[in-house]
Amino acid sequence: MTLATLTAGFIALWMLFSRESGATAGCDSVLEGYQCQPELSHAWGQYSPYFKVPSEISSDVPSHCHVAFAQVLSRHGARDPTMSKTLAYSQVIGKIKSKVRIFQGDFAFLANYSYTLGADQLTDFGKRELVNSGRAFFNRYEDLAKNTLPFVRASGQPRVIDSAQEFNKGFHREKTAGGTQDDEYPYSVTVISEADGSNNTLDHGLCTAFETSNISSTAQATYASVFTPSITARLNANLPNASLTLTDTILIMDLCPFETVVSSSSNLSPFCALFTRAEWKQYDYYQTLGKYYGYGAGNPLGPTQGVGFVNELVARLTGKPVVDHTSVNRTLDTNPNTFPLGRSLYADFGHDNDMTAVFAALGLYNSTLPLSTTHTMTVEEMHGYSAAWTVPFAARAYFEKLQCDGEEEEMVRVLVNERVLPLESCGGDTLGRCMLGRFVESLGFAQAGGYWNQCFEESGERGDVEVA
């Protein structure tokens, strides 16, 4: 046997291992996601990197079923902070550096630290998250994917479009891993504009009363006054003369995930060590309050922002035209080139806020009781609802249509970051499945347009709604 033959054989075995195990450098992998110090990194709210969420129901496709249809709804990958946040982070670091003369212990790194983060763009880490997502999607639905391509849409932000393209790279990588030719690559992406006034089911903005709501900021401010004072006191004791506020404390906590996802190493940012595991759980809950009372069931108009996408999902599941009078872009959705029906694979890319609204419109977390703003609730008490578990960077929700032995009607399952949801609203069975007809029937809120009629009432301000 020649050296060339041995080398070729080794490479083939390595590729097989890599594909089957999802192996990736460091502690981030295709199948498991980010597993670096999970007791911390899985408690960063929507700023957590993607990770596989624990599931009481096996995420494997049931042995007597096969997938006939799969839709992924994905958040973009890890990014730099938004422009307003990057300015705020720069200011708080500037304040510390100008007032503090000695940095000791866990704070010693600040002596040589400079704030250099950009704004809004996908990081290299975020790109890798989406490549991994495309690989995972192909491997999970290989029986469909080896013979077809997903129809891909993206909301019009550059980081979202870039995420869709990175997903396509990962999908293509797996599709051609066995030597299969793929002349259609690069795959096309249908982009939905985010310009003011544009109808877009992957980005909110049209509902006037909702856009002026301040429920989430009120809820978060109430809880911040509960959990941050002791942390702020400790920071000020270690950073004499900094005079940090409660708001500054949260900004400094934010820097832990953002500095981590711009690093090329598997090490967490030194900002992370400034806070305890218990404090990170409180931080995760703080961020969860923002989603729940901003775009979820805690906001009377939150679920309505997800109605348009739900009605598109119904159309794809049933093969019938979209029926919607809310955020659907009818120019695109009535054109079979930009909204084709009858496909077996679909992939849509958007933002965490809009995914939160979609989950609420679907009723996926109806068992979650109203979230308290005066004490921390655990993810178990919230029945699996937390910002980190639902909408981390590169979050992925799978909607599957199954054909199962012994069942005349097709069935539906929903997985959010590999956690199979019980689908209680349509009578889900022990495998998390509902009959397609019952699943569609359970979406009456969305099919009726939610509370879209309240979006443009002059008295539609929702900021004074009491929260628990």
Instruction: Quote the pLDDT of residue 158.
Output: 98
Quickly tell me which residue has 């496709």 as its tokens. 61
In terms of average pLDDT, the best of 6-20, 169-183, 290-304 is 290-304
d(CA 289, CA 218): 10
Q: Taking residues 15-35, what's their average pLDDT?
A: 65
Q: Give the span between the Cα atoms of 443 and 374, in whole angstroms.
A: 32
Which letter does DSSP use for residue 266 in this model? S
The answer on pLDDT for 20 being more than 60 is no
Residue 135 has pLDDT above 80, yes or no: yes
Q: Which residue has the higher pLDDT, 461 or 55?
A: 55
**Mean pLDDT on 311-337:** 98
Rounded-to-integer distance, Cα 1 and Cα 213, Å: 71
Across the chain, what does the average pLDDT equal? 92
Mean of the pLDDT values across residues 161-182? Answer: 92
> How much of the chain exceeds pLDDT 90, in percent?
89
**CB-count burial class (<10 Å; 0-12, 13-18, 19+) for 338:** middle
pLDDT digits (tens, 9 = 90+) for 261-276: 998 677 899 999 999 9
pLDDT for residue 458: 58
CB 156, CB 191: distance < 8 Å: yes
Lowest mean pLDDT among 88-92, 262-266, 412-416, 422-426: 262-266
Please determine, for residue 431, whether its predicted confidence score (pLDDT) is greater than 70: yes
Q: Which structure tokens are listed for 254?
A: 């934010």
Catalytic: which of 203, 254, 324, 352? 352
pTM score above 0.95 = no
The pLDDT assigned to 16 comes to 36
pLDDT at 151 over 60: yes
Is residue 459 scored above 70 in pLDDT? no
Mean pLDDT along residues 173-193: 90
CB 215, CB 299: distance < 8 Å: yes
Residue 125: helix, strand or coil by DSSP? helix
Query: What tokens does 322 get?
Result: 């979209």
Q: What is the pLDDT of residue 264?
A: 67
121 pLDDT above the threshold of 90: yes
The span from the CA of 190 to the CA of 154, in Å, is: 6
Residue pLDDT, tens place only, 202-229: 999 999 999 998 999 999 999 999 999 9
For 347-403, what is each residue's pLDDT tens digit?
999 999 999 999 999 999 999 999 999 999 999 999 999 999 999 999 999 999 999
Lowest mean pLDDT among 1-15, 28-42, 279-293: 1-15
Structure confidence by residue, pLDDT tens digits, 420-430: 999 999 999 99
The predicted structure's pLDDT at residue 464: 31
Choose, from 28, 42, 76, 254, the residue flagged as catalytic.
Answer: 76
So what's the pLDDT on residue 259?
97
User: What average pLDDT does range 155-166 have in this prediction?
Assistant: 98
Q: Where are the alpha helices (DSSP H) in 22-123?
A: 38-41, 83-99
pLDDT at res. 396: 98
Q: Does the pLDDT of residue 59 top 80, yes or no?
A: yes
pLDDT at 195: 96
Positive or negative, the CA dihedral 100, 103, 107, 113 is positive
Higher-confidence position of 69 and 457: 69
Q: Is 162 a catalytic residue?
A: no
Provide the pLDDT for residue 462.
37
Instruction: Dump pLDDT digits (tens) for 99-119.
Output: 999 999 999 999 999 999 999
Say what the pLDDT of residue 249 is.
98
- Does the pLDDT of residue 460 top 50, yes or no? no
Q: Does position 8 have pLDDT exceeding 50, yes or no?
A: no
Active site residue 182: no
Q: Which amino acid is at 439?
A: F
Tokens 């499945």 correspond to what residue?
433
